[in-house]
Each structure stands twice: as C-alpha cells, then as structure tokens.
Structure 1
Amino acid sequence: MGIDVAFTHFPTLTTERLQLQEIQPSDIEALFSTFSDEEVMRYYGKLPHQSIAETQTWFQQLQERYTRREAIRWGIALKGEESIIGTCSFHHFGPSYHYTETGYDLNRAYWGRGIMTEAMSAVLSYGFHELAFHRIEAIIDIANEGSKNLLLKLGFTYEGVLRQRFYFNGQFEDEHYFSLLKDEWRG
C-alpha cells in the first residue's frame, strides 16, 4: 500500500485485548496521568508534564506532526474501554519512507501485563505490511531494562551506541540503537 494510506485516514489497529486509535482531545487527562509520572518519564528524554496545559500543547504538536506527515501516534486503549493507557508511534521517517523510528510509553498501572508487546506487534506488522517499511529503528536509554527487553522480545537487534549524542537535563547521554528489518519480523 504505502505511507499515503496512513495519512489519508488515521489507521485504527485492533488486537486481542487492545484498540490502537487516534488520540482525541478527550484523552488529554489520561495522557497527563502517564506523562506526569516520573517513573514513566525516567528514560523518556523529557521532563514529566507539570500541568494539563503542557499536555494540551503536546497534543496540538502531535496533531500538527500528523498533518505534516511527520509522525503517526496511536493511543492505546483496552478493548471496551475509552481511556488511553499509553501510546506508540512511527516518527523520523527516512527518505521515500523506507525506514522509520518507533517509540512507546505506557501508564505505570499497566506495566508487566504484556500490553506493550501486543500493541507494538500490531504497529510493527502494520508498518512492514501496510506501509512497506524496510527497517524500523528504536533509540533507548540502555538503563531502561523494560524497553530493552521489549525490543529484544520483538526481534530487534542491538546495533550500537552513539556516545553522548543526546543533551538532556544539563548533561550529555548516550543513545543506544536497535533495529528490525522486514524480513526479520516474525509477527
């Protein structure tokens, strides 16, 4: 199909337990609950949100990035529930949309239930099969064991480190790169 389909109508993805859907203004309070949590934001590379207004600004930027075809970010909800419990995305598209970067976050109340494995499996399948990506990348803080384990479980390969590449909160931090190729995806 190609990338155009994702920017014509926002893609909704469904799994056994989850619905991945377009984030709405009504989701801002639920998103604030996630993005204001210091534990969730520990390895995010941004400080926790301090107010609903900050989350509203983030939401507006999210909508603008989608309109400019720069990112697709799904809200994750349990089937039959309306509240968003996390997000996952494609962003930083490469030339001709052959590759992209992915990212994800989950409200701490839902950690350890396999939710992100299920959500990311749907996102990766959509990216490889519907959007025709050849490569999907992830950049993490290597101290984030949960994220590292998720990527390895999904079949990503650790490619290496770019030392002190990211400046955050007054210090330089390493970026650790993982990737998954279309022919490696087992989903």
Structure 2
Amino acid sequence: MTAPLLTTARFELWQPRVGDLAAHMALLADPEVTRYLASTPPDPEKHMERLIRHAEGWLQHGYGLFAVRPHGSDAMIASCGLFHSVRGFGKGFNNVTEAGWIVARDWWGKGVAREVMDASIAWFEARHGPRRMACMIEDGNRASERLATALGFVVYDRKAPDADDPVALNLYERQPSVLSRTR
C-alpha cells in the first residue's frame, strides 16, 4: 500500500506494515504510554507477532488498527481504530468489534484519539454497517474513560482481576443505535 487508507484534518491512517516495527516498538517503549496496557516486553519478536495479528485481522475481517501519522510525515504517533477481538473471558468480549487507541505521549491532550476514532468509526460503519462495539479500560485511566464516553460507549460490566490478569477492567459497549446519534 503506497497511500493512506483514510485521512482526517490532521492525520493519515495507514494499515500497519512490516516497516512499522521500529515505530511500533518506540510507541510502546514509553512506560507512561503503556501504564494502562498489558505489559509489553521490549522484544522485537513479540512486537512483530502483534503486527502480524493486526495484519491478519485486516485480511480476515477487512478492518483493524491504523498506524497514525501526521500529514506528510513518516512518524507513527499512534495506533488507533477498531479490530476483531476474541479475548477469551466472555462478558461480551468474544467475537466482537473492539475499539482501541494508543497515542505517543508527545501527542496527549491534542485530540488525536478522538479525531482518529471518529474517522475510524465512520469508516467502519460505512463499510461494515452498524454493529455493537466494545472496549475495555483499566480502572483509573480517566482520559480513556472520557474518550469512550464521548464516542458513545457506556460501561456494561467489569472484569475482576484474576491470576492471568491482575488488573480490574471496566467493559464498555456502544450499541448500533448510538452510531447514528453521535454523528
């Protein structure tokens, strides 16, 4: 792919590609960026596996996370969008369209995730039709909670800490009827 799949006023949204490995690793190397994410080891092989999963999602489902770049720049400043999720813990998180956003710290507070997620949801709805979407947010991640609410997501359940994942997660959903009301 030699052009972005989607553009917004400030950003180009690209399907992830192998050449994004270093930028992806750099994005996730900042402990403040990953504070509310599952631990991400600084292992190129693990990061490549993650990029391959993203590419597989695009191939199998026709959508996935975007590598976000400012117009005219090669710098990847975020990974945002919608992806097909099978988390394995039930509670509405198996076989669902999941929303996710990770933004480089230098870009926090500048509306990146909101702009990109609005565009991603509109693009998704136009191509795949309205459907239920979900996202999960760790307790205390106020910025993501505010964004999810602004995007029309509401809390519907909670995943308690367990041996595999020692953090509490609030589970959010966005029903198809919300898609048309927030545009």
Class of the TM-score when normalised by the shorter of the 2 chains: 0.7 to 0.9
After superposition, the CA RMSD in angstroms is: 2.5
Q: Which residue of structure 2 aligns with residue 173 of structure 1?
A: 167
> Per the alignment, in what secondary structure is the counterpart of residue 164 of structure 1?
coil
Which structure: greater strand fraction? 1
Normalised by the length of structure 2, the TM-score is 0.81
Larger relative CO (CA 8 A, sep 6+): 1 or 2? 1
C-alpha deviation, 1:83, in angstroms: 1.7
Verify the 8 A CA contact 1:90 1:102 in the aligned structure 2: yes
Normalised by the length of structure 1, the TM-score is 0.79
User: After the TM superposition, which residues 12-161 of structure 1 pair with which residues of structure 2 at under 5 Å, given as runs?
Assistant: 12-45=5-38, 47-69=39-61, 72-88=64-80, 89-92=82-85, 99-161=96-158
> Per the alignment, in what secondary structure is the counterpart of residue 105 of structure 1?
strand
Verify the 8 A CA contact 2:17 2:55 in the aligned structure 1: no
What are structure 2's unaligned runs of at least 5 residues? 87-91
Deviations 1:90-149 (A, max 9, x none): 22279xx8x511111111111110010000001111222321132111111021111111
What are structure 1's unaligned runs of at least 5 residues? 1-9
Percent of residue pairs bearing the same amino acid type: 22
Q: Which amino acid aligns with 2:102?
A: D
Q: Does the C-alpha gap of structure 1 residues 166 and 85 become closer, same or farther in structure 2, counting only changes over 3 Å?
A: farther
